[in-house]
Structure 1
């Protein structure tokens, strides 16, 4: 259970009027065309753990520990200026003073405790064992079950948060955790206003306009259409360089590119590689981007009657020639990772690990051994939610057909349809973002206890779960590496849960006269120091 060691005082909620934008304000309004605004039609970070959510999260909400997405994704001071480790299960943080929420209130330690307790876990607390003492008896808005599930997965060992003083907090785990700093840096751990939460009429209204500390505040949201953010001029990091940001949902690539050329949009996101030369053929525009901290994968539902046999899934992994697909669709602009890991893992990176080899003969042998008779396997597919998603699927369909595997595409409208527990669910596209440099931040966000793979009923493995628990609590680097190797052996070789496809890459087209740097992740940074118009 999450609790406080000092009484939390819930003042009568008062929303302060936002400062009016002066008539002489000559900062620009920028319009950004995106493929999708939000998968959940909310902006509460634990509910929008997606590439589209990560893109805008940092504009309105921040964590105690930040990530330098314009650098090497290293952890940096955020709403906390420093932190220290009394022991392997404890982290103490000093809060930045003078930080103002979008409602005008100053951020204090009590907002931190609220943000990690009532807001994420509700009255049942982190373990579900009982009522949290944080704002006990005052909570009227329980978070949705998926928010609680994501929160418990993100902070599996969190026991309590102690307020040392108004600007100092102490996180205490039930078990050792060498990754606690990285966990706190995840978007789930955004620090939001407890008074604004208490004042919101409902959780949904809160979730569509959470009150954070970022350089911009959410001003207007029209689901599936547009999102408007306005400058937060009391931002602790300096005056935001844009007066207003307007995100517009434009599903088709051609619509985003044409709108950029016509002047309707200043930025166009999610540009596929084959359109980069088209954009840069116009001297007024350029495309920025690179491979990022995300791995695209194809996920198996092992409860499917055909895929229940691991040999069929293993055959499917051996039938895929990743290099052919990447060369055909990405023109050398991305990479094929060595399994579900990134080099940013540092000492935890297994440089000698390999993906299952492309081996059609072995695929056919496994299918004969499994007595596979050509039964159809459904591939639930979205229309290019991921860049080149449909084309990639079509290439894989042909590779599987070449070894005798009958995979059939079933187009879906949204993720809820893709993951629904309805007959015929077989394989689907997914991706895995590593929020910081450790396997805990990557593979264990998707697979293992309390993760989406387990919650949706697609994949679970008892040994994998035991080993993941051991990895999360181990402090010795050599033993942690051994645990990680065993996890990859289980989920990529023995009992496949997915096929690694390629490292995701994010490309954004923009006007050349706008000075702006692309992040090494999904995040779009329009804050002080990263935006200049008329360059």
Structure 2
């Protein structure tokens, strides 16, 4: 058997030392990170867990073929593929790194890549729960069949996927059915994380697999206790260099005050999702600091257009125009984020519609629309969780008062989990949500509002023209035509038949020990690789 130079040097170094000396020499820290939630689905498999909190943890144990410099300039980067090139408008060829190992010790091969994009993992699913999508937190408990969400998530991420073709042991081709200008970006989505085919085959059930998947990241999953803790340890055969943390532990601490107090007491080394009004208190301790800022995510509320009152788009339009978004940013975020130009980011580059804006704050117009719609004061339910998002409850309370000022009767209903919000229940009205740009093109976020996307599949909102335009955007290659399609889509989603109400660009602030040199990302991911430490 041939050894790589790096592996040979590693073995030579370990042979010179007895095992006790190795253990004594490992002075890497054990780090505890307090989060409000680890996973909304109680799984760690991206084919079910597609939440913001899931995006945060995936970067530690799973990796994709291409990546973004999330802690840098957001540029597209090689991932598990050391290089990639276009073959034509439908095909991208990727050269795999040769020194990548899975956490079970197996070398990553082209077969593992094909499996990760294959029917066993992506394109098959069990029967939909009668309560609807995104409800069950114990999917796949009795078989190896993925949950019903899996093929929908795959469709939303890769709507034109045809096959992952093996060219050689270290070369694959992603082949699309139709032209797609965004293939390189699509492969950065955690949906396309590369996992061990053998480990999947050895797992007794899909749920067993999904709670301890075997990936290639810098940390290996040791133990996951749903709704409680996720424990990982350094994977020293990581291709990207020796991880800087010996043991990494995420702990669920739902309340902000408890996360702050635990950090100050030394129980935690990092505490995520700090509201800006806590920053001064935290930094009054010279050993602590808060880092972070705006990220590629926008906070919004989703309308269920099938609710009797919300069927009339004029009521939904009134709700979008009754909100003073800048007042929310000023009051709750101390100006540390901003009101976006609708559902878009500067990250979009040439696809950014610079003259577009979120609906204007116009209470008089909102009142006129309600009068025209003959709104009679019927209550509109507003479902939400308790501060799943930073400043969530305070934001909702401000919006309820702003809606009341124009004559809208909106009632907050607190729920315990996302299943109670996204399930197909007759009492749904509006709900809390957000949308991320996984890569630098509008289709990254718009997929949620087309077949396969969460909002569409949850039965909250559908619009045939929007779906057709999104499909055209997915396969379009002419820049000006794509910009025109994007403008029309936003006109439908934010003006004519509102699907959501944009609130503000999201921002994340992480409190941490000052002596740990670590950079926050411009997304929800937390990067604990050696390149982002020290």
Residue 359 of structure 1: which of 359, 362, 369 is its match? 362
2:11 counterpart residue number: none
Q: What is the distance in 2 between the residues matched to 1:42 and 1:313?
A: 34
- The 10-residue stretch of structure 1 (408-417 or 64-73) with the greater mean CA deviation from structure 2: 64-73
1:497 counterpart residue number: 499
1:346 counterpart residue number: 349
1:113 counterpart residue number: 114
2:374 counterpart residue number: 371
Note the alpha carbon deviations across 1:215-268, whole angstroms, 9 max, x for none: 001101111111100000000000000100011100001100101111111111
2:464 counterpart residue number: 462
Q: Report whether the alignment pairs 1:528 with 2:530.
A: yes
Aligned positions of 1:405-484 closer than 5 A: 405-444=408-447, 446-484=448-486
Q: Report if aligned partners of 2:47, 2:122 keep a CA contact under 8 Å in 1.
A: no
Stretches of 4+ aligned residues off by more than 6 angstroms:
none
Q: What is the distance in 1 between the residues matched to 2:191 and 2:469?
A: 24
What secondary structure is seen at the aligned counterpart in 2 of 1:378?
A: strand
Query: How far has the Cα of 1:37 moved from its partner?
Result: 0.8
Query: How far has the Cα of 1:355 moved from its partner?
Result: 1.3
Q: What is the distance in 1 between the residues matched to 2:520 and 2:459?
A: 37
Query: How far has the Cα of 1:442 moved from its partner?
Result: 1.4
Aligned positions of 1:16-165 closer than 5 A: 22-122=23-123, 141-165=144-168
Q: What is the distance in 1 between the residues matched to 2:363 and 2:206?
A: 51
Q: What is the distance in 1 between the residues matched to 2:78 and 2:122?
A: 25
Query: How far has the Cα of 1:195 moved from its partner?
Result: 0.2
The TM-score normalised by the length of structure 1 is 0.92
2:15 counterpart residue number: none
Q: Report if aligned partners of 1:269, 1:509 keep a CA contact under 8 Å in 2.
A: yes
1:226 counterpart residue number: 229
Q: 1:255 to 1:266 in 2, by over 3 A?
A: same
1:135 counterpart residue number: none
Q: Report whether the alignment pairs 1:198 with 2:201.
A: yes
Q: What is the distance in 2 between the residues matched to 1:123 and 1:451?
A: 16
- The 10-residue stretch of structure 1 (159-168 or 112-121) with the greater mean CA deviation from structure 2: 112-121
Q: What is the distance in 1 between the residues matched to 2:226 and 2:454?
A: 24
Q: What is the distance in 2 between the residues matched to 1:388 and 1:123?
A: 38
Q: What is the distance in 1 between the residues matched to 2:124 and 2:390?
A: 40
Q: What is the distance in 2 between the residues matched to 1:203 and 1:24?
A: 39
Residue 517 of structure 1: which of 516, 519, 531 is its match? 519
What secondary structure is seen at the aligned counterpart in 1 of 2:98?
A: coil
Q: What is the distance in 1 between the residues matched to 2:122 and 2:290?
A: 41
Q: 1:123 to 1:386 in 2, by over 3 A?
A: closer
Q: What is the distance in 2 between the residues matched to 1:119 and 1:531?
A: 36
The TM-score normalised by the length of structure 2 is 0.92
Pairs aligned (count)? 499
Q: What is the distance in 1 between the residues matched to 2:122 and 2:193?
A: 14
Root mean square deviation of aligned Cα: 1.4
1:12 counterpart residue number: none
Q: Report whether the alignment pairs 1:507 with 2:521.
A: no
Q: What is the distance in 2 between the residues matched to 1:120 and 1:277?
A: 46
Query: How far has the Cα of 1:123 moved from its partner?
Result: 5.5
Q: Report whether the alignment pairs 1:254 with 2:262.
A: no
Q: Report if aligned partners of 2:116, 2:122 keep a CA contact under 8 Å in 1.
A: no
- Gap regions ≥5 residues in structure 1: 1-18, 126-139
What secondary structure is seen at the aligned counterpart in 2 of 1:148?
A: helix
Query: How far has the Cα of 1:23 moved from its partner?
Result: 4.3
Q: What is the distance in 1 between the residues matched to 2:437 and 2:151?
A: 20
Q: What is the distance in 1 between the residues matched to 2:44 and 2:423?
A: 22
Q: 1:265 to 1:365 in 2, by over 3 A?
A: same
Aligned positions of 1:242-321 closer than 5 A: 242-321=245-324
What secondary structure is seen at the aligned counterpart in 1 of 2:465?
A: helix
Query: How far has the Cα of 1:148 moved from its partner?
Result: 1.6
Q: What is the distance in 2 between the residues matched to 1:115 and 1:97?
A: 17
Q: Report whether the alignment pairs 1:337 with 2:336.
A: no
Note the alpha carbon deviations across 1:456-500, whole angstroms, 9 max, x for none: 111000100111111111100000000000000001000000110
